[in-house]
Structure 1
Amino acid sequence: MTALTLNLNSVIKLTREQFYQLCEENPDLKLERNAQGELIIMPPTGGETGRSNVNLILQVASWNEQNQLGQVFDSSTGFTFPSGADRSPDVSWVEKSRWDALTKEQKEKFIPLCPDFVIELLSPNDSLKKTQNKMQEYIENGCRLGWLINRKKQEVEIYRQGQEMEVLELPQTLSGENILPAFVLNLQRIWE
């Protein structure tokens, strides 16, 4: 099952608060919203994707636990971008000073910023082009480093601010560069 896009703009333009309420009242649906206000209904993932997502979160969270440089979030966390889009990356990280600058209320709802770092794991039914566009949207909204992991092709696309996207074929590790200092993602379990 692929993601569905629903355009309600001719009927209603949801405010940020209304979109948040819609998500709260429909917890069984995973919803995102693009900058044009269209709703994106995301299907549940399959077992292999879910297993791989947990592995990715564990690795980033373990690094963060040791370094205490920010906060790690899973795919259930909503972020409201400067563009107006509301997105939920598979794995995301926000630098400590940016997180600490938020009010308690901002931390409770969709986080009103774009993460510093994101990982998207391409599911078998995901559109590569749509996911690449989403990665570009992250960068345009302030994300400093993003990885699009394609298990089927065993490739990783690396997105960085101010640089062309880089493609790595069957990398065994990825560096967090200067965004996540000393972090090295082990991809062996992802390629299994």
Structure 2
Amino acid sequence: MVITPLTLNLNSVDLTDEQFYQLCQKNSDLKFERTAKGELIIMPPVGGESGNREAECIIDLGIWNRQTKLGYTFSSSTIFKLPNGADRSPDAAWIKKERWEALTPEERRKFPPIAPDFVIELRSATDNLENLHSKIQEYMDAGVKLAWLINPQQQQVEIYRLGKNVELRNLPTELLGEEILPGFILSLDRY
């Protein structure tokens, strides 16, 4: 049985940022996101394969970041407040050190009002590809410089670069962090 996200249309309800934050805090067993259109998405949990793949991506990104000390790595539990009003949670994210440290302690403690420099979205069996494309577009519109949409179901990865056309590659492949994550390589041979 496939469990899909539940989407509630809240565009006629004025849910403030603080109310959304409190909703997430008081329902910590659920994972919420909010689109720029005001839709509240309740995300289902992922299965073992997707959870493992997500963890491996975060581990690789985190190890690279510990070695370079160039920024901060974030898990899928982090919600970012994007400039368009959306509250999104990528499977893995990274922010350049100077940009993160420019936020106030309060901004860092809650849902940071910043678009990551880099995001990874890993399609799980419960993810609708069209919804993931919309989510990636929100990231790119918010100023994310590099995004990878890893799609094991179709054995492909989509590479998004700010201001450039999407590049499509077949799996397995190696992805390079380019100038955003210098020296970072993610090998997708286990997908």
TM over 0.5: yes
- The share of aligned pairs that are identical, in percent, is 56
Cα displacement (A) at 1:171: 3.8
* TM-score, scaled relative to structure 1: 0.96
1:113 aligned partner: 114
Structure 1 position 32 matched with structure 2 position 30? no
Structure 1 position 47 matched with structure 2 position 80? no
Please say if residues 94 and 117 of structure 1, whose CA atoms lie closer than 8 Å, have aligned partners that are also in contact. yes
Cα displacement (A) at 1:4: 1.3
Query: Which secondary structure does the structure 2 equivalent of 1:62 belong to?
Result: helix
Instruction: Give a deviation string over 1:109-139, Cα, whole Å, max 9, x none.
Output: 0010110000000011211011011111100
1:4 aligned partner: 6
User: One-letter code of the match for 1:87?
Assistant: R
* TM-score, scaled relative to structure 2: 0.97
Deviates more, 1:109-118 or 1:162-171: 162-171
What is the alpha-carbon distance in structure 1 between the residues aligned to residue 5 and residue 177 of structure 2? 29
Please say if residues 156 and 171 of structure 1, whose CA atoms lie closer than 8 Å, have aligned partners that are also in contact. no
Structure 1 position 187 matched with structure 2 position 188? yes
Q: CA RMSD in A?
A: 0.8
Cα displacement (A) at 1:9: 2.9
Stretches of 4+ aligned residues off by more than 6 angstroms: none
Instruction: Give a deviation string over 1:151-172, Cα, whole Å, max 9, x none.
Output: 1111100011111111001142
Question: How many residues are matched?
Answer: 189
Query: Which secondary structure does the structure 2 equivalent of 1:188 belong to?
Result: coil
What does 1:27-176 correspond to in 2, within 5 Å? Answer: 27-176=28-177
Cα displacement (A) at 1:173: 0.8
Cα displacement (A) at 1:108: 0.3
What is the alpha-carbon distance in structure 2 between the residues aligned to residue 86 and residue 9 of structure 1? 14
User: One-letter code of the match for 1:47?
Assistant: G
What is the alpha-carbon distance in structure 2 between the residues aligned to residue 114 and residue 131 of structure 1? 17
Instruction: Give a deviation string over 1:20-39, Cα, whole Å, max 9, x none.
Output: 01000100110000001110
What is the alpha-carbon distance in structure 2 between the residues aligned to residue 76 and residue 44 of structure 1? 12
Query: Which secondary structure does the structure 1 equivalent of 2:90 belong to?
Result: coil
What is the alpha-carbon distance in structure 2 between the residues aligned to residue 106 and residue 78 of structure 1? 12
What is the alpha-carbon distance in structure 2 between the residues aligned to residue 135 and residue 35 of structure 1? 13
